[in-house]
Structure 1
Amino acid sequence: MEGFFAAWLFVTGLVVGSFLNVVIARVPEGLSIVRPRSRCPKCGHVIAWYENIPVVSWLALRARCSGCGTPISARYPMVEVLTGLLYFACLRRFGWTYELVPALVLVTLLVPLTFIDLDHWILPFSLTLPGIAAGVLLAIPRGGDALLAAVIGAAGGFLAFRLMEYVGWKVFKKEALGAGDKYLVAMLGAFLSWHALLGILFLASLQGAVVGSLMLALTGRAGPASDAPGDSETPEPTDVAVDPEPTMTWDFTRSGLPLWKRLLLFPVCLLFQPIPDAPLDEEGEEEEWVPGPTNIPFGPWLALAGLEVMLLGPWLGSVLPSNMALLLGAG
């Protein structure tokens, strides 16, 4: 009987993965994930229910649209199988306990966020903000300590990355972290508590750096290319004057300001100071940011690290020295 329910959960993951393919395709475009029904993007053929069975339909159709013969990307069954396997892994990790519920919800959020970031270099607020709320709310049945750890995890993750974002602008005069990364870290902190944040940051940075370096050496790019025009070229400088400094309402760095006022104004500026506007083109419009060859989307690595800490925590705790396991939040 236990095997039957495990198989049922895996199939449920396949079905959810099929829906997540819709989320991945439509959310970045600002489209409804409910209507209209799925259809071929080339010929408009409406997908019948029997053409939408996870994995099976893709194989039966030989990876082609039944209306026009356009190839259907292998990513569709890959997302379905990946979601099913992660659901099964959550069951193996937590069993049929309450802890399985937030784990499945987190997986359901991380899968589309990962592929959207790989495709579009964005982490939509429509997924991260509800995810933060869900992580905190799902901690309530665990008790007051778990709820407090979730709140601290969400707030601490956000503030830590907001600080790094702020320092990046001040030091390098350019974007050092994606604007959506701090919300993803806050979501991970809400689900996995503040104890996991250091481990997530370490694993994400290490794995992203290693794989990014290998990809840069092999392909000339550390991350995926953007669809934006001129992706392979360095944008030409414009004659439009742009102030790279953030616009501050209360500038705690100005000369003559007493130390106590600097300390008082710093957290206010950190939280509410707007990030500088993007450079303007010749028409006076904001230039679209184009990732350079050394840029990588950090969201997928944060998601991977979060899953590793959640699913491999006991194993990491058993194979790593106790001090390192504690720092990584493993256990």
Structure 2
Amino acid sequence: MEGIYGVFVFIIGSILGSFFNLCIFRIPSEESIVFPPSNCPKCKSNIKKYDLIPIISYLILRGKCRNCSEKVSIQYPLIELLTGILFTIIYLYFGFSVELFLYLVLVSVLIITSVIDINTGYIYERVSLVGIIAGVVFIVYKYISSGEMLTYILGGVAAGGIIAIIILLTNGMGWGDAEVAFLCGLFLGLSSSILMIFLSIVLGGIGASILLVFGKKSRKDAIPFAPYISIGGLIALLYGEGIVKAFLSYYGLY
């Protein structure tokens, strides 16, 4: 049954991924994400429901608009596939639970925020706010169910605070990055938040080096950091406890 549920979660994730694409393209231009319905940016024709099947429709139409043959960005099926995969992984780790649905909100916010940051270099407060609200709900739930609360509050403060200090000292990031780190920390707790920041800095350094080597960015260009915080946050969410325990055990502290 777990396999069947996993397929179901993947399908739901890919469907939501289609909606996330809409958010990714419309939020930066301050368009409504509700109206009008999905349409071709060139010919403006509404996309038929049978052409909105995640991933499959893109393959059937060979990445083109049915009406005007305008090329459709490969981003659409990639985001649908990524969302389906991440939703399934989170489900397999946490099963059906209140935490699962809150973690899925976190993943959703990180996907939208990261891709918008890559495309535009901006992080939008209205998106971050959804994640922060979900984080507060998560903390309340954890307090009610297990009495835990302080570690998650400290996680948010520590993660957001460290990025804020880096911004003040180097001006190498934007305040939106601090928002993303803060909302991730609310879900992770203190130790996993510290791990997230460490991983994001390491991954960010590797990513920046690759972009510089291949000439995609210059030393003067801003490099989106939200994707690296997101990747670090997801790794910390899934493996943080084990990594922290292994580190402490190695040094005889656990």
Structure 2-normalised TM-score? Answer: 0.91
**Shift of the alpha carbon at 1:316?**
3.4
**Could you list the per-position Cα deviations for residues 64-97 of structure 1 after superposition, in whole angstroms to 9, with x for gaps in the alignment?**
0011100111110000010000011101211223
Match of 2:201 among 192, 201, 205: 205
Q: Which residue of 1 aligns with 2:158?
A: 156
Match of 2:217 among 213, 217, 221: 221
Moved more, 92-101 or 203-212: 92-101
Indicate yes or no: 2:189 matched with 1:193.
yes
Contact 2:99 2:138 in 1 (8 A): no
**Structure-2 change in CA distance of 1:220 and 1:23 (3 Å):** closer
Contact 1:64 1:72 in 2 (8 A): yes
Q: Between Structure 1 and Structure 2, how many residues are aligned?
A: 252
**Structure-2 change in CA distance of 1:17 and 1:220 (3 Å):** closer
Q: Which residue of 1 aligns with 2:68?
A: 68
Alignment of 1:237-252 (within 5 A): none
What SS does structure 2 have at the residue aligned with 1:28?
A: coil
Work out the CA distance in 1 between the residues paired with 2:239 and 2:192: 12
Work out the CA distance in 1 between the residues paired with 2:91 and 2:245: 20
Work out the CA distance in 1 between the residues paired with 2:250 and 2:29: 45
Contact 2:38 2:46 in 1 (8 A): yes
**Shift of the alpha carbon at 1:51?**
0.8
Contact 2:109 2:130 in 1 (8 A): no
Contact 1:63 1:73 in 2 (8 A): yes
**Could you list the per-position Cα deviations for residues 212-260 of structure 1 after superposition, in whole angstroms to 9, with x for gaps in the alignment?**
11221122526xxxxxxxxxxxxxxxxxxxxxxxxxxxxxxxxxxxxxx
Where do 5+ consecutive residues of structure 2 fail to align?
none
Match of 1:306 among 233, 238, 242: 233
Contact 2:64 2:72 in 1 (8 A): yes
**Shift of the alpha carbon at 1:317?**
5.3
Q: Which residue of 2 aligns with 1:53?
A: 53
Work out the CA distance in 1 between the residues paired with 2:207 and 2:50: 39
Match of 1:165 among 148, 164, 167: 167
Alignment of 1:87-98 (within 5 A): 87-98=87-98
**Shift of the alpha carbon at 1:161?**
2.5
**Shift of the alpha carbon at 1:323?**
5.2
Contact 1:216 1:294 in 2 (8 A): no
Alignment of 1:290-301 (within 5 A): 293=220, 295-301=222-228
Moved more, 211-220 or 67-76: 211-220
Work out the CA distance in 1 between the residues paired with 2:220 and 2:85: 32
Work out the CA distance in 2 between the residues paired with 1:202 and 1:294: 22
What SS does structure 1 have at the residue aligned with 2:140?
A: helix
Work out the CA distance in 2 between the residues paired with 1:132 and 1:39: 31
Contact 1:89 1:311 in 2 (8 A): no
Contact 1:220 1:293 in 2 (8 A): no
**Shift of the alpha carbon at 1:183?**
0.6
Work out the CA distance in 1 between the residues paired with 2:150 and 2:242: 26
**Structure-2 change in CA distance of 1:323 and 1:187 (3 Å):** farther
What letter corresponds to residue 66 of structure 2 in structure 1?
Answer: S
Where do 5+ consecutive residues of structure 1 fail to align?
169-174, 223-291
Match of 2:149 among 131, 147, 150: 147
Work out the CA distance in 2 between the residues paired with 1:129 and 1:318: 31
Work out the CA distance in 2 between the residues paired with 1:32 and 1:58: 24
What letter corresponds to residue 307 of structure 1 in structure 2?
Answer: L
Work out the CA distance in 1 between the residues paired with 2:241 and 2:151: 19
Work out the CA distance in 2 between the residues paired with 1:147 and 1:29: 38
Identical aligned residues as a percent: 31
Alignment of 1:1-331 (within 5 A): 1-143=1-143, 145-168=147-170, 175-219=171-215, 221=217, 293=220, 295-313=222-240, 316=243, 322=249
**Shift of the alpha carbon at 1:178?**
1.0
**Shift of the alpha carbon at 1:304?**
0.6
Work out the CA distance in 2 between the residues paired with 1:143 and 1:162: 27
Contact 2:159 2:197 in 1 (8 A): no
Work out the CA distance in 1 between the residues paired with 2:234 and 2:130: 19
**Structure-2 change in CA distance of 1:317 and 1:158 (3 Å):** closer
Q: Which residue of 2 aligns with 1:251?
A: none
